[in-house]
Structure 1
Amino acid sequence: MAQRVLGLGRARRVSGYLKKMVPGAFLQEFFAQPGIVGAICPSSPFLAHRMAREVSHIKDGLIIELGPGTGVVTKALLKQGVAPERLLVLEYSNRFVQRLRRQFPLVNIVHGNAADLCRIVPAGTKVSAIVSSLPLCSLPEPLMQSIVQQWRELLHDSGVAVQFTYNLHRPAWHKHVQGVQTGSSIVWGNLPPARVSTFSFHTHKLSSPHHEHPPAEHPG
């Protein structure tokens, strides 16, 4: 009998822990769209802080967050000093979109697909950083390629991309990121541990060719 009571007590403690760690909306979305959500738990504050710190030095231009989920990274970005008007947060799940809009009323929360990012960002906008929590390893390869290849187009002018993954080795999506990897670290305090990778895009789009004409020859 005592063992049953102790077992029940442990089960209740675990259940209470999970309720604190995993919001109901997150679990519902995980079971409804496991390939899109990608994990049973939202990102920890440790992981969120690590990702936000990678862009805290950027003082101008738009910062785009992809796959915010319950808004842990969004909160960390704001805490790092990113002004709400400089954030564009793109979320695929309508349930999460409604939650995020209530939680961050001053932030531009867009309901859409990261594969359409170049069409969503207004033309002529300077994009300085993309912070992504998308489960790239779980997405179909054509969709994953479509997403990461747009980063170069938007970040061509010395922009930065930050992506985390639960694959602690070298995930397949790395080879499609057309930028230079400038940072990599493992956040052991996350459940499960996650690797944060940072990429820089130092290339510049070519301007229209400038044609030089030889000086006109004057007759003797």
Structure 2
Amino acid sequence: MSLQSGLPLFLGQLIRSPHKISAIAPSSAALARRMAMELPLDRTGPVVELGAGTGKITRALLEAGVAPDDLHAFELNEEFVDNLRSGFPNIHVHHNKAQEMDQLGLNNVRAVVSGLPFLSMPGSIQHAILRASFKAMGPGGVYIQFTYGPKSPVQDRVSEELALTYTKSETIWGNLPPARVYSFRCAVV
């Protein structure tokens, strides 16, 4: 079985489980490529993708040179998980919550790339996901997150608690809705 086209799979899940889908369309190729551009070049090791969905960002990460055996995709939606496993048989697909990544023994992670809906998450869940991510990455790791909003998707309180700094990209107009990519670093791991 091959990877299903992103839009029909996404729309099917949106219709069947609207409370589990937090976007109006799957990520565009332009957004996926922009996220992959943020991978640090001075580090090696596994890359973790959170909320892999239809695999658009997964494909961009592989095209950017991430080895399939180094890519760990986390997804909660069972149909997306099945689709990712069939379409990308050589990557590691985890049917787990993002905040549980540190329980899987992942360490020395190069980067965490997230398609999670941070704007709709409570601060406690944001904190748990970011903490697990930076624990898996260690010093020098980068957490790459996109958002549709006009400001950082991480709540100010969470950002302060974790001593986060960030850079943000230009607006990616080729995405629906337009998005920005934020790259977070943690001063204290």
CA distance in 2: counterparts of 1:32 and 1:140, whole angstroms: 24
Question: Which of residues 162, 171, 180 in structure 2 aligns to 1:195?
Answer: 180
The reply on whether 1:55 has 2:32 as its aligned counterpart is no
Structure 1 stretches of 5 or more lacking a match?
1-20, 205-220
Using a 3 Å threshold, how does the CA distance of structure 1 residues 199 and 140 change in structure 2: closer, same or farther?
Answer: closer
Give the aligned partner of residue 153 of structure 1: 135
Using a 3 Å threshold, how does the CA distance of structure 1 residues 174 and 28 change in structure 2: closer, same or farther?
Answer: farther
Please say which structure displays the higher CA radius of gyration.
1
Cα displacement string for residues 87-111 of structure 1 (whole angstroms, at most 9, x for unaligned residues):
1111111100000111101111111
Q: What is the TM-score when the length of structure 2 is the normalising length?
A: 0.86
Give the aligned partner of residue 173 of structure 1: 155
Question: Which of residues 46, 68, 76 in structure 2 aligns to 1:92?
Answer: 76
Give the aligned partner of residue 21 of structure 2: 37
Question: Which of residues 73, 89, 94 in structure 1 aligns to 2:57?
Answer: 73
Identity of aligned residues (%): 37
Give the aligned partner of residue 109 of structure 1: 93
User: How many residue pairs were aligned?
Assistant: 182
Using a 3 Å threshold, how does the CA distance of structure 1 residues 48 and 74 change in structure 2: closer, same or farther?
Answer: same
Using a 3 Å threshold, how does the CA distance of structure 1 residues 33 and 148 change in structure 2: closer, same or farther?
Answer: farther
SS of residue in 1 equivalent to 2:182? strand
Shift of 1:173: 2.9
CA distance in 2: counterparts of 1:89 and 1:22, whole angstroms: 16
SS of residue in 2 equivalent to 1:186? coil
Shift of 1:195: 1.2
Using a 3 Å threshold, how does the CA distance of structure 1 residues 132 and 171 change in structure 2: closer, same or farther?
Answer: closer
SS of residue in 2 equivalent to 1:153? helix
Cα displacement string for residues 116-136 of structure 1 (whole angstroms, at most 9, x for unaligned residues):
12113x16x211100000001
Give the aligned partner of residue 184 of structure 1: 169
Give the aligned partner of residue 118 of structure 1: 102
Quick check: 1:156–1:202 contact (8 Å CA) kept in 2?
no
Structure 2 stretches of 5 or more lacking a match?
none
Q: Which has the higher contact order (CA 8 A, sep 6+)?
A: 2
Using a 3 Å threshold, how does the CA distance of structure 1 residues 189 and 128 change in structure 2: closer, same or farther?
Answer: same
CA distance in 2: counterparts of 1:31 and 1:109, whole angstroms: 24
Quick check: 1:66–1:131 contact (8 Å CA) kept in 2?
yes
CA distance in 1: counterparts of 2:45 and 2:187, whole angstroms: 15
